[in-house]
Amino acid sequence: MIGIHDMGGMHHLGPVETDDNAMFHADWEGRVFGLQMIGAAVGDWPADEYRYIIERMPPADYLNAAYFVQWLQALEQLFISRGVIGADELRERQTAVANGAALPDVGPPDPLVVDQLITTMRDLAYHGGLPEHPELPRRYHIGDRVVAVSRAVPNHTRAPQYIWGRPGTVVSHSGVFSLPEAVAHRLPDRPEPVYGVRFEATDLWGEGAEPGTSVVLDLWESYMAPLASSTSRAPS
């Protein structure tokens, strides 16, 4: 989707707050991180589905909200969509919290459940959770000149606007990965070869670009097309 999240190259979004080194600005942000890990451990959603929810936040909210409110947006929708919580009861609980009303006490924790949750989350933290894919035949090779295709689709994609239609050079073969379009929308898996593709800054931003600058992205084959040119290989 062409959305506000796709902000590579945008002007006038403010100064980089180089002193803002906080991982969490407040306790609640850390707790949201924890809730995300719970969701990752026991939920049934991939990162791209999570990302797509955030991408569809109203643009003003996306820009103005605290970063971890973006995560809350995704967590709330995902837990609701999976039937873990209801939208109405969430709204009621939010009202209760905001009004300082007493919240229901929960019983003592079940040590077995606690252990299982902690074990699962630590396993995720230290061992990860992404599948490997077997090799697939490759359409492109290192040195190939390619063009990034436009992905003006309403669904999730990981091809940012600033490369659409721009020429690049394949610099690596990065492996085989599931196409995010399929992952985000729970379609049948579409693994494709992914390549590191280098774009010269002048091709992205024009003559005003910083000289001697390039940007490298990882492109799925669906994101690329051969560059129509009499020169098929990059100049040495």
**Where in 177-196 is the site for another protein (CB under 8 A)?**
177, 194
Lookup result for tokens 């919580």? 85
**How many of the chain's residues bind another protein (CB under 8 A)?**
101
Distance CA 170, CA 198 (A): 6
203's tokens: 């091709």
Binder among 136, 187, 216, 226 for another protein (CB under 8 A): 216
Question: Which segment (127-135, 139-147, 226-234) binds another protein by CB under 8 A?
Answer: 127-135
Considering the complex, state which of residue 216 and residue 232 has its C-beta at the smaller distance from another protein: 216
Smallest gap, in angstroms, from Cβ of residue 229 to another protein?
Answer: 23
Distance CA 45, CA 77 (A): 11
Strands ordered across the beta sheet of 191-200: 191-200, 167-178, 145-148, 224-226
Instruction: Please name the residues in contact with 66: beta carbons below 8 A apart, sequence gap of 6 or more.
Output: 25, 29
Considering the complex, state which of residue 155 and residue 174 has its C-beta at the smaller distance from another protein: 174
Considering the complex, state which of residue 208 and residue 228 has its C-beta at the smaller distance from another protein: 208
Smallest gap, in angstroms, from Cβ of residue 141 to another protein?
Answer: 18
**Residues 12-31 interacting with another protein (rule: CB under 8 A):** 13-26, 28-31
Our finding on whether 160 is near another protein (CB under 8 A) is: yes
Residue 117 near residue 39, CB atoms below 8 Å? no
Question: Which segment (47-55, 138-146, 226-234) binds another protein by CB under 8 A?
Answer: 47-55
Nearest to 161 by CA among 147, 173, 171, 151: 151
Our finding on whether 33 is near another protein (CB under 8 A) is: yes
Nearest to 200 by CA among 216, 222, 220, 180: 216
Other CB atoms within 10 A of residue 170 CB: 20
Question: Which segment (76-84, 136-144, 224-232) binds another protein by CB under 8 A?
Answer: 76-84
CA dihedral (210, 214, 218, 222) positive or negative: positive
Smallest gap, in angstroms, from Cβ of residue 230 to another protein?
Answer: 27
Question: Which segment (11-19, 137-145, 226-234) binds another protein by CB under 8 A?
Answer: 11-19
Helix (H) or strand (E) holding 3: none
Our finding on whether 122 is near another protein (CB under 8 A) is: yes
